[in-house]
C-alpha cells in the first residue's frame, strides 16, 4: 500500500510499516536491554530517540518500552524472533495491523516544520527534535508516533481507524492529491 499525494512543499506517501512493540517487565528490564543491545550492536535508544538496525529502526517510547519500525518487514517474523530472544523478560507484540504510516517529505527541514506546525504542538525544531528523534504525541487530536528519519523526512504512524481522517487533514493542510 503506497499512495502518494503532494503539494508544493510536502509529499505524503501512505505506507503500511511493520510495527513491533517491546515492553520489558520491571524485573526483566536489564535483561531486555542487554538482549536488544546484543542483537543490534549497541545500547538501546533512550525515550525519544531511535537507532537504525538491521530490522528497521528501534525507537524508545518510554521507560522499558521500544517500538521496532520496519518499512518493508514482516511484523509476525520480527515478533517471533524478538520474543525468542527476550523470553519472559519482555512482552513483544506485532502491531503492524493497528497503524498506517504517512511519510512526509519536504524539500527542506523548514518546509516540513512549517507544514507540521499547523497540527502538531510538539516542538519539531532540529535543535530539540533532531533526526533520529521519536515521540508518541497527538497530531490534530489523533494519537500518533512521529519518527524523524532525516531532516526533511518524517514518519507519522496513526491508528488505522483514523487513517482516512488523517489523510483528509493532510490534504486540508496543503497536501493535494497528486
What phi, psi does 127 have (nearest 5°)?
Answer: -70, -25
Q: Give the CATH number for residue 89.
A: 3.30.70.1520
Identify the pLDDT of residue 76.
94
Structural domain containing residue 134: 3-15+97-177
Identify the pLDDT of residue 176.
45
Average pLDDT, rounded, for the chain: 89
* Domain end call among 40, 69, 96: 96
* Domain end call among 40, 72, 96: 96
Distance CA 73, CA 89 (A): 24
Sheet holding 134-139, edge to edge: 134-139, 142-150, 153-159, 99-106, 10-15, 3-6, 176-177
Indicate whether 68 and 118 sit together in one domain.
no
Per-residue pLDDT for 162 more than 50? yes
Q: Give the CATH number for residue 103.
A: 3.30.1360.120
Q: Mind listing the pLDDT tens digit for each residue in 97-141? A: 999 999 999 999 998 888 888 888 889 888 999 999 999 999 988
Say if residues 7 and 176 touch (Cβ distance below 8 Å).
yes
Distance CA 11, CA 106 (A): 6
Indicate whether 68 and 49 sit together in one domain.
yes
The count of structural domains within the chain is 2
Q: 178: pLDDT confidence band, cut at 50, 70 and 90? A: very low
Q: 1: pLDDT confidence band, cut at 50, 70 and 90? A: very low
- Would the pTM of this model clear 0.85, i.e. be above it? yes
Question: Could you count the other beta carbons within 10 Å of the beta carbon of residue 132?
Answer: 17
* Domain end call among 96, 129, 151: 96
Per-residue pLDDT for 5 more than 60? no
Q: Mind listing the pLDDT tens digit for each residue in 52-92? A: 998 889 999 999 999 999 877 789 999 999 999 999 999 99
Indicate whether 150 and 168 sit together in one domain.
yes
Amino acid at each position: 500500500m503506497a499512495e502518494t499525494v503532494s503539494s508544493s512543499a510536502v509529499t505524503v506517501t501512505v505506507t503500511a510499516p511493520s510495527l513491533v512493540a517491546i515492553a520489558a517487565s520491571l524485573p526483566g528490564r536489564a535483561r531486555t536491554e542487554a538482549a536488544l543491545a546484543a542483537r543490534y550492536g549497541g545500547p538501546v535508544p533512550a525515550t525519544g530517540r531511535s537507532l537504525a538496525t538491521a530490522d528497521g529502526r528501534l525507537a524508545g517510547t518510554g521507560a522499558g518500552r521500544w517500538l521496532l519500525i520496519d518499512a518493508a518487514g514482516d511484523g509476525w517474523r520480527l515478533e517471533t524472533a524478538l520474543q525468542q530472544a527476550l523470553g519472559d523478560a519482555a512482552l513483544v507484540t506485532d502491531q503492524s495491523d493497528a497503524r498506517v504510516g504517512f511519510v512526509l517529505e519536504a524539500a527542506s527541514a523548514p518546509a516540513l516544520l512549517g507544514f507540521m506546525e499547523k497540527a502538531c504542538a510538539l516542538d519539531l525544531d532540529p535543535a530539540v527534535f533532531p533526526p533520529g528523534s521519536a515521540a508518541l504525541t497527538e497530531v490534530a487530536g489523533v494519537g500518533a508516533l512521529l519518527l524523524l528519519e532525516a531532516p526533511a523526512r518524517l514518519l507519522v504512524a496513526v491508528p488505522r481507524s483514523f487513517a482516512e481522517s488523517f489523510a483528509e487533514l493532510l490534504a486540508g493542510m496543503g497536501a493535494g492529491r497528486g
